[in-house]
Structures are given as structure tokens and as C-alpha cells.
Amino acid sequence: MPEAIEHYRIEDEESFADFLYALNDYAPRAANLLHLLRQQPMDVAVQAELMRLFHTIKGDAGLCRLYFVEPLVHAVEDILARIKSGELLFGAALEQVVLLAVDRLELLIAELDSGRAVALRDFNQLTEALHPLGQLPPAQVDEAAWQLVKQLTGFVPQGQAGQQSVATPAQQADLDFFHSLGLQFEQRSALFQGRTERNLILAMACNRVAGMPIDSLQLEAAVYVHDVGMMFLPQELWLRQGRMSEDERVQLAAHPGWAADLLARMPGWDMAARIVREHHERPDGRGYPAGKPGGLICDGAKLLAIIDTFEAVILKHGQRQQARSLLRAVAEVNASEAQFDPKWIACFNQVVRELMQQGDALPHVR
């Protein structure tokens, strides 16, 4: 392998925009073809189409001077060549590895679209980890692939469970109302199916793993209400993929405040209001609406930020008419770890690991 590039900033805006536009088509096509190949591993037509697609991605990356992309795609091509030759059988492990590689490429290209110089260390490490899969003896490939999946999804044990608050009749009535608001938002699109229950399961389990530092009733209220403000925005803005205009960003940044103000006007829900108001803030101070640094963001908001990002990935899969993959969503959250508090990422990962080990499923996610 040639020496890896450590940092990259867009050199040619026009050619980068072309690659970004093309990748928005290539990525879902790759996912759909991998799904087809998983169902029919010996289908030579699907194998050939996948090979052509990744060859096109590599070629486009070279033309657009995104040279750091080429080694990763080359590693995927080596794996596909072994499958096409009959040396390897395409199974679940290789499917997940290639999907995660495509997801990581999409994330990196989206980060570069911000215009900042981006560190490529994690991306290069993934490329290095992929290359042995094109060379290992066939009997060792699946185990190595699953080890790479584990590395990308980062399962780390954390903490012990504490005690859960018990709602008074008045609090339960409020929670029932908040729940109804969450379900109203969920019913606005078939793509939101199951989101309220998914978010609650993950948030409560993460809080339990962390030792219950967040009041469970306040967290439950925040989960139900945090996106209710989206109902005051145009529906096309909720489901927008790709770059937004500055006016659209301003509109979107208002939605946490609307939901937080609703909670703040109801006695006893001050912490829930704060969680909702801060859940789009980031530890590096680049979040919204106030640009607070990590030390000023409450634990509940740090946790809800992770849950909300997980849900955004699930929504993206639905928009692309792909199966909603728990494993891929977790990997994408971990790839964006600079946006989140490491303590809560560790809790989130442990919860997902427990769900997978126990065979439990989140609603409408495989």
C-alpha cells in the first residue's frame, strides 16, 4: 500500500461536488446489490455488477483527486474478486464489512463537505484492516471480518443499574400526554414507524447501564417530546437528504426550543425541558441553538443526542428503501464519535451489544 494521507481538505470544489453527487447514487446501489448477493451468493450477474460499481467509485475518486479513497475501494475489490472466483462464499460477515466500509466513506465525504481539513486516521485504519480479508486463507476470513465489525461498532461495558423513579398520578397523566404528542409526530410519515418506542428503549437502557444519573421520568418526557417542534416545520425539511440552505438550517435549529418551551410551561418538567433544549449541542461547541461546550451540556441531552443520531440513520435507511440495520446504524454513530460524550457512547454500545447477544430486536429494525 502507498503511504497514507493523514489529513485532507477539498482541493477542487467542482470535482468534489461531482463525486459527492455520484456517491449519493452509488452508496444505496451498493447496499441493494449486497443485499441481493446475500440472498443469492452465487449470482454471477450481481457479482459482476458490484465489481463494476466499486471500480467506478475508485475511478471517480481518482479523477476527483480523492486519492485516499482508492486504497479502501481496492481492498473491497480484492474481497469481491475472491467471491467471484469462488474462493470465498459471500455471507453475513462480509456483507456487513462492505456495508460498513461504504457507510464510513459516506460519512467522511459528508464531513469534508463542511470545507474543513479532516483527519483521515480512522479511515486509513479501516482501509488497513480491510486488506487482510483479500489475502487470508478462506477458513479465517469470516472470523477476521466479524472482528473488524466488532472494532467498528466498539462494544465497551460500562456502569451498573440504579433505581428508577416512580411517577405520581399527575406525572403519569403528563407523560401520557407527552407520549401522545410523540405518536402524533410518528404518524406524520411511514418512515417514522416505531421511532417513539425505539428511542425510549435505548434511552432508558443507556441510563440504566450508566447507573441512572438522569431522572428516568424527566428522560422519558424528553424522549417523547424532543422532536415535536418538527411538526411546525415543512415536512420536506424533516426528510431532506444532503445539503441545506442557510435559511433551512435556521428553521431547523428552532425546533428544540419550541418543544422545550412547551415542557417549561408545565410544572415539574424543568430538567426535561433542558434536555430537549440542549440535545443538538455538541461537546466541541459546534451544536445548536446556543453553541454550548460539553461542560455546559446536561447528561440527558448528551444521551439524547446519540439516540437522535441513531434514529436519523434508521430514517436514512428507510428513505433508501433498505432494511433498517441495527449494526450499520451503531457503526455510523461510532464513526461520528467526536460529536458525542465518550461516556455515553460507551453506554450506548453496551446496550446494543446486550440486545444483540440476547436476540432482542428494536421495533422495525433488524
Mean pLDDT within 92-106: 89
Total number of domains constituting the chain: 2
Q: What is the pLDDT of residues 125-162, one digit of tens each?
A: 888 999 999 888 887 887 788 888 877 765 422 333 34
Q: For position 94, which CATH number holds? A: 1.20.120.160
Q: Is residue 291 situated within a structural domain?
A: yes
Q: For position 327, which CATH number holds? A: 1.10.3210.10
Q: Is the pLDDT of residue 3 over 90?
A: no
204 plus 318 within the same structural domain: yes
125 plus 49 within the same structural domain: yes
Name the domain boundary from 153, 181, 196: 153
Mean pLDDT within 243-268: 87
At residue 76, the pLDDT reads 95
Name the domain boundary from 120, 153, 186: 153
At residue 350, the pLDDT reads 86
137 plus 208 within the same structural domain: no
Mean pLDDT within 149-178: 68
Q: Is residue 315 situated within a structural domain?
A: yes
Compute the distance between CA of residue 106 and CA of residue 30 in angstroms, rounded to an integer: 12
At residue 258, the pLDDT reads 93
Name the domain boundary from 123, 153, 183: 153
122 plus 264 within the same structural domain: no
177 plus 40 within the same structural domain: no
**Banded model confidence at residue 359, pLDDT cuts 50, 70, 90:** low
Q: What is the pLDDT of residues 331-354, one digit of tens each?
A: 888 887 678 898 899 889 888 888
**Banded model confidence at residue 241, pLDDT cuts 50, 70, 90:** low
189 plus 322 within the same structural domain: yes
Domain of 92 in residue numbering reads as 7-153
Q: What is the pLDDT of residues 23-75, one digit of tens each?
A: 999 999 998 899 888 878 888 999 999 999 999 999 999 888 888 899 999 99
Q: Is the pLDDT of residue 362 over 70?
A: no
Q: Which of the residue ranges 20-24, 84-88, 246-250, 357-361 would you say has the lowest mean pLDDT?
A: 357-361
Q: Is residue 105 situated within a structural domain?
A: yes
